[in-house]
Amino acid sequence: MKRFKQYQLKPLTGGAAATEAMRQINPDVFAAYPITPQTPIIESFAQLVADKRVDTKFILVESEHSAMSIVVGASAAGGRAMTATASQGLILMAEVLLVASGSRLPTVMNIATRALSAPINIHNDHQDAMAVRDLGWIQIFCENNQEVYETNFLAIRLSEHLQVQLPVMVCQDGFITSHNTEGVEVYSDKVIRKFLGEYKPKYPLLNLKKPVTIGPLALPDYYFEIRAQLDRAMKQAKKRYLEIGRELKKITGNDYPYFEKYHLDNAQAVIVTMGSTAGTSKVVVDKLRKQGKKVGLLKINLFRPFPYQEVNKVLSKIKYVGILERAMGFGSYSPLASEIRHCVSFKQKVQDYTFGLGGRDIGPEEIEKAFKQLLKGQVSDQIKYIGLRT
């Protein structure tokens, strides 16, 4: 498949990559409140507004709860609306996140994932996104800055699809991705905007010829059905994700699968992870493959809705599965581990690894150690902590 070759290579942080995508999306409304490590997204977008490079109404609010409330109102009115946040800001939004998904309001939110309090910590892990994983939002995780840039376009189209109509979180790792600079292929405004198309809301609140009510009271005779409709929309999102990804590939040449399979052929031990750690894990896989070790990586891109059947298919022949995760379950399996364990059989050996909480680094040598443990069959039902001081 030929791709559109006209692009400009720009040095961008992950935050700037999200902003560059938003510049090309040119939403009607962007409402946000600054919070580390997401603040650069707001700062750089505010500069775009000041320079009149977008037509967006930028609203700086007093809290993240207000930011999401404005986004809900703008989306309900029939506009394209976006926001961005992290950590405690995302938790403060939780009440309104449910309103956005329950009211079937398309929107996209960029998240620079960060640890949750207490104690206060401004560095990266996935506890914030995992805390709101079941509030009816689609969740896509990005490994690098290029993925952040391109995923925003896929997310907008997916959110606005008439058979989906659900909000989307585009998650990148705080500081690790959001503040580090990489070369990003930026495509022309004309091509991207043709891909995005004109937003045509399904039931805009301001269409006075067809009045609707948004956010009504739903008693037992209707509430159950409304929630079931949201679940069906999630199933549609899973299908449309691949369709829209194939369209975007015509521009970028890149694939947008549910997950990336890296050297899974004949692999005996596979690590499953999300986000920037996948990049480091690939380096380790390459090293061990050169040594004759049969190892591989499965990088999850689409976390909600989760592709259970597809993951089961690719992992079913893997003897040892390690789950590398930047979050905890506290009294249960951690979030990613819970999903992966649902996809494997009792005959397979599975090990949960928790790492990187509060921004603690993980290096290739630690991932290599995990692979060697897996190859030796050193697995248990207990979580193994990578990098934890004893």
Instruction: State pLDDT tens for residues 278-321.
Output: 999 999 999 999 999 999 999 999 999 999 999 999 999 999 99
Which residues are paired to 297 by β-bridges?
262, 271
CA separation, residue 20 to residues 46, 48, 64, 149, 185 (Å): 12, 9, 22, 7, 11
CA separation, residue 58 to residues 48, 154, 265 (Å): 10, 22, 48
Average pLDDT value for residue range 221-241: 98
Average pLDDT value for residue range 92-119: 98
What distance lies between CA 230 and its chain's CA centroid?
19
Between 1-15, 112-126, 295-309, 373-387, the lowest mean confidence (pLDDT) is in 1-15
Every domain of the chain and the residues it spans: 7-252, 259-386
pLDDT band at 215 (very low <50, low <70, confident <90, very high): confident
How confident is the model at residue 1, as a pLDDT?
47
Return the higher-pLDDT residue of 202 and 123: 123
Q: What is the mean pLDDT of the chain?
A: 97
User: Given phi > 0 = left and psi -120 to 50 = alpha, else beta, which region is 279?
Assistant: alpha
pLDDT band at 7 (very low <50, low <70, confident <90, very high): very high
The domain made up of 259-386 has a fold known as: Rossmann fold (3.40.50)
pLDDT band at 390 (very low <50, low <70, confident <90, very high): confident
How confident is the model at residue 152, as a pLDDT?
99
Cis-peptide into 364, omega within 30 deg: no
> Tokens 């249960």 — which residue?
332
Reply yes or no on whether the pLDDT at 62 is more than 70: yes
Q: Do domains 7-252 and 259-386 have the same CATH topology?
A: yes
Average pLDDT value for residue range 197-221: 93
Class of domain 7-252: alpha beta
How confident is the model at residue 3, as a pLDDT?
55
Between 103-112, 120-129, 212-221, the lowest mean confidence (pLDDT) is in 212-221
- Nearest Cα to Cα of residue 101 among 139, 137, 65, 152: 137
Average pLDDT value for residue range 35-45: 97
How confident is the model at residue 4, as a pLDDT?
57
Q: What percentage of residues in the chain have a pLDDT greater than 70?
A: 99
What is the tens place of the pLDDT at every residue in 138-180?
999 999 999 999 999 999 999 999 999 999 999 999 999 999 9
Report d(CA 30, CA 35) in Å as an integer: 15
How confident is the model at residue 5, as a pLDDT?
59
Average pLDDT value for residue range 130-135: 98
- Nearest Cα to Cα of residue 323 among 136, 121, 126, 90: 126
How confident is the model at residue 216, as a pLDDT?
87
